[in-house]
Amino acid sequence: MYLEIVSPEATLFAGEVTSVTVPGINGEFQMLKDHAPIVSLLQEGNVKVEGNISIDEAYETKFSKDATGKTILPITSGTIELKDNKVIVLAD
């Protein structure tokens, strides 16, 4: 599935991933390939991305890795849309 993470400054990441986990307003949830379409508000927490991804050098400091190897991006709020295996995260 294709993921784009967009902040007010720039597109922080765009590429193929295996899964995305986000901090929804009703709790954390994960999306995998062929997930049903969804639009949701996000709250403060971490966007967790699985897959063989590479982050642009200009934005590497915004991301970290957890003990399981997932790529982590802390956010304060945002919105997510998933449709046709394309996930767009608008993050603050």
Distance CA 92, CA 80 (A): 12
| 10 CA to centre of own chain | 14
Look at domain 2-91 and name its CATH class: mainly beta
For the entire predicted model, the pTM comes to 0.94
pLDDT of residue 22: 98
How confident is the model over 23-59, as pLDDT tens digits? 999 999 999 999 999 999 999 999 999 998 999 999 9
* Residue in 71, 80, 84 with CA at minimum distance from that of residue 23: 80
Query: For residues 70 and 51, what is the distance between their CA atoms, to the nearest angstrom?
Result: 8
Q: What is the pLDDT of residue 72?
A: 97
Give the distance, in angstroms, between the CA of residue 26 and the centroid of all CA atoms in the same chain.
17
Q: With contact defined as beta carbons under 8 Å apart, do 29 and 46 qualify?
A: no
pLDDT in the model for residue 32:
96
Q: What ranges do the domains of the chain cover?
A: 2-91
